[in-house]
Amino acid sequence: MPVPVTLYGRTVRLEPLAEHHAAALAEAGAEDRTTYAFTPVPHGLEAAREYIARALADQAAGRSMPYATVSTADNRVVGSTRFLELDYWQGPLVWPPVPGIPYGDPLEAVPDAAEIGNTWLSPRAQGTGINTEAKLLMLRHAFEAWGVQRISLRADARNARSRIAIERLGATSEGIRRAHSRGLDGVVRSTAFYSILDEEWPAVRDIIELRIAAATSPSAPDPAPLNQECLRHGGSLVSEPVIGSSLLPAA
């Protein structure tokens, strides 16, 4: 399974989540909790310790890779994010099978696909560009270090902020799965699904890097037209295809 490493950026550092992050994570989670409507965020030190213990158990099982999100401005933990749904495509690595060529093994291999999620930021870090750069670091690691074929992202269909953030990355909308699960508020929720494929990564990387540059330089170009031209991005908060519906475009 992949080895956790620290991912370094200009405004953010993603440290492999560990027990020593508990107090700082609890402090970040204690900020205005009205902003945490859609993602589980630990409340208090014991909850933070339990949050980390569950995350590390999933990591040990090869299912996820959690991070503490650290602002480089003051070295404070401002949230958490993770790779999850690590998918190791089983079977021969070449076809037809060739003697001496091994089969996929989750304990030895890096994932072929993964999801980025369970992301939350303290209010003080929201809108600062930390989330965008953190996504760039994770996507670069997944596509360029692991060589994944696909990264998935999802959001509660009601969570307009997260959906806009995902779409601004250049991810492609895969539609809405209706009545998909139960939300934190107990309401049965629909889920918006997105993906980025390996062949799309170079264009997506350019979009994100331009967006980061635009945030730090008023003269930088707006990358939105590049997004539409390169990826023909179909995500929309107004009219969404529904997974399993005839409204989805033909393949």
- For 129-185, what is each residue's pLDDT tens digit? 999 999 999 999 999 999 999 999 999 999 898 899 999 999 999 999 999 888 777
> Residue 94's pLDDT is what?
56
- The per-residue DSSP string of 9-78 comes to -SSEEEEEP-GGGHHHHHHHHTS-GGG-SSS----SHHHHHHHHHHHHHHHHTTSEEEEEEEETTTTEEE
74 lies in some domain:
yes
pTM of the model: 0.81
194 lies in some domain:
yes
Q: How do strand 172-182 and strand 150-156 relate by DSSP bridges?
A: unpaired
Encode pLDDT of 9-38 as tens digits: 999 999 999 999 999 999 999 987 777 778
Average pLDDT score, the chain: 83
Q: Is the four-CA dihedral 70, 17, 121, 167 of positive or negative sign?
A: positive
237 lies in some domain:
no
179 lies in some domain:
yes
116 lies in some domain:
yes
> What's the domain count of the chain?
1
Give strand ranges (E) for the chain.
7-8, 12-16, 64-71, 76-87, 113-121, 150-156, 172-182, 188-197
- Measured CA to CA, the distance from residue 119 to residue 38 in angstroms comes to 10
The domain that contains 32 carries what CATH number? 3.40.630.30
166 lies in some domain:
yes
The DSSP bridge partners found for residue 83 are: 65, 116
According to DSSP, residue 199 is labeled: G
**Residues of the domain holding 183:** 7-89+104-215
User: Which residue did the predictor score with more confidence, 100 or 112?
Assistant: 112
246 lies in some domain:
no
Q: How do strand 150-156 and strand 113-121 relate by DSSP bridges?
A: parallel
